[in-house]
Structure 1
């Protein structure tokens, strides 16, 4: 797939464009490196430094990525110019890395009209600062459940990246490449962006219309259309589960036929599979939000905390309360 520029490319001798990468503690290295390499290669193609960048952090000094690789920062959270682009680089435990100081700085810089983006989980920081209210955004699929619960005013999508005005977000991983190829195409034209992709051996450029997760058949390794339809319906109805009999009816199967399909391809009953989906969402909410256990139970379709706790313990060999407590103990401050 080739890129399509959304506006005319700038002239090759135009003024340099500066990116300020704000690295959060435990940021995802792949997301950051993918973005940076796109800019490096674009400069190589032009034969000059059209793109320049600065590494910033809340305290300056050094910071660790999620791979425990240490990076030296160029600056702290300084005042920026109106034509700078801020790129927040998030990763694991993004809530812990989101401080008042960072949020206040981000709001102040946003008032200048700067273009601001978030890689991987950094959409959380942008939403917390109120920069995504009423806007379309995306975040890593593992954080979508908790994000939706906390930020109702954000139009969350499941795409690999999203651009809404001067706000940009990505799902993480290699989706940084897709976003930055689009930015390069807008600045310098499709030929430069496609050359960068070729240099990276990146031959499947995605747009903001592409989903970040594999399709259901690919993900579960089963290409049965009716089974896939049922699983999609399950994933879309976690808070208010649909009975297996009704699911079977909606795809033109009998309850017994649906049972056989699940046993044959997934080695579990539809009820068991549905329960595992709900418990996985519950675990994400326990780990990533401050929602009470009762509210987590309700958000995942459990009528009572006791039933939720019983099911959770049977699946994960611990209670929801202990799970949250042990996660808090393991999480660095």
Structure 2
């Protein structure tokens, strides 16, 4: 949102644009944090409006229908537009909707998307030169079809790139909106919302989607999938290569060949990356002592853990602990005061 320089407690108007077939869980995960922010603050920090192309009700992929309060041609004083889409999104990228999104971008209104809403923004041409994310299934198909070459698609859970905010879907919009609320109203409110929702940790911008291994491989190699599943289930007490091979009923040499062929690395390095990635999540998302994090990820020696962590990420575990709060409290974007104010002045085209 363009009120990056506004003091905490500023009011924001949000428009949720519903595309037919939208994901109900992604929509709710995006909207509910704002409702809870108002409740915990005991005042209206956020106001939201439900939009559709024609102002009529829109059916979600579940078949449930949500009433819209206005059509796109009507002027609204918005500080953020959130595009909520879902199945068969390609069928619903109507010209009027894409034109309206381009007008919003021209007025410097920040644009967000959940689930396949990023596809709509890309079709409108308002993601060119930006990083964004979609659900891993759709990223794969976009890459295969060579669509949107000017857009950088990532496998992260959500992406905050200047005035474009995109989420992969499911419950990931909850984490994205908590980050926005943290930067606008402070981290204490965001953490309070997470507690109210029994959301044990606010995932970070660096968290990636857990893409199924067979999708990452481009094929389903059952023995490799079996071994990686064993690795993921045994991070606390890592298994030896001989034990992994024995469980999969293959030789150690066959195991090493599978990893080299399909993943381009030895199994020991892949296993180490899994353990360090888990350690990074614990450092970012819990208050566990660093020594306990090391033990939880199979490192019996804290100095060895520190060395491996530094080699993998370029900084120490203790430094990781400081990075998340710095990101949560950093200004969102160096933008002019309020796009909403300019929109109120200009009216709709």
Q: Please report the TM-score for the alignment, with normalisation by the length of structure 1.
A: 0.63
**1:250 & 1:104 partners in 2: Cα distance?**
44
Indicate if the aligned counterparts of 1:31 and 1:174 stay in contact, CA closer than 8 A: yes
**1:43 & 1:61 partners in 2: Cα distance?**
27
Cα distance change of structure 1 residues 247 and 47 upon mapping to structure 2, 3 Å threshold: same
Does residue 181 (structure 1) correspond to residue 189 (structure 2)? The answer is: no
* Aligned counterpart in structure 2 of residue 67 of structure 1, from 54, 62, 66: 62
Q: Which residue of 1 aligns with 2:199?
A: 202
Q: Which residue of 2 aligns with 1:163?
A: 160
* Aligned counterpart in structure 2 of residue 93 of structure 1, from 88, 101, 107: 88
Q: Which residue of 2 aligns with 1:28?
A: 23
* Aligned counterpart in structure 2 of residue 193 of structure 1, from 190, 210, 219: 190
Indicate if the aligned counterparts of 2:22 and 2:59 stay in contact, CA closer than 8 A: yes
Does residue 47 (structure 1) correspond to residue 42 (structure 2)? The answer is: yes
Deviation of residue 9 (structure 1)?
7.3
Structure with the bigger RCO (C-alpha within 8 Å, sep 6+) is: 2
C-alpha RMSD over aligned residues: 2.9
Q: Which residue of 1 aligns with 2:284?
A: none
Indicate if the aligned counterparts of 1:34 and 1:177 stay in contact, CA closer than 8 A: yes
Cα distance change of structure 1 residues 201 and 151 upon mapping to structure 2, 3 Å threshold: same
Gaps of 5+ in 1: 1-6, 228-242, 254-333
Aligned structure 1 segments of 4 or more residues deviating by more than 4 angstroms: 79-83, 214-220, 224-227, 243-246, 248-253
Deviation of residue 83 (structure 1)?
5.0
Deviation of residue 147 (structure 1)?
2.1
**2:177 & 2:227 partners in 1: Cα distance?**
27
**1:226 & 1:10 partners in 2: Cα distance?**
55
Indicate if the aligned counterparts of 2:134 and 2:167 stay in contact, CA closer than 8 A: yes
> What are the superposed Cα offsets for residues 67-107 of structure 1, whole Å, 9 maximum, x if unpaired?
10011110011355575200000100000111111111111
* Aligned counterpart in structure 2 of residue 122 of structure 1, from 117, 120, 133: 117
**2:131 & 2:20 partners in 1: Cα distance?**
26
**1:209 & 1:83 partners in 2: Cα distance?**
28
Q: Name whichever of 211-220 and 141-150 sits farther off.
A: 211-220
**2:111 & 2:141 partners in 1: Cα distance?**
22
Matches within 5 A, 1:1-333: 10-12=7-9, 14=10, 16-78=11-73, 80=75, 84-148=79-143, 149-213=146-210, 216=213, 221-223=229-231, 247=261, 251=265
Indicate if the aligned counterparts of 2:136 and 2:211 stay in contact, CA closer than 8 A: no
> What are the superposed Cα offsets for residues 286-305 of structure 1, whole Å, 9 maximum, x if unpaired?
xxxxxxxxxxxxxxxxxxxx
Indicate if the aligned counterparts of 2:129 and 2:151 stay in contact, CA closer than 8 A: yes
> What are the superposed Cα offsets for residues 209-234 of structure 1, whole Å, 9 maximum, x if unpaired?
0011168579963317989xxxxxxx
**1:252 & 1:84 partners in 2: Cα distance?**
49
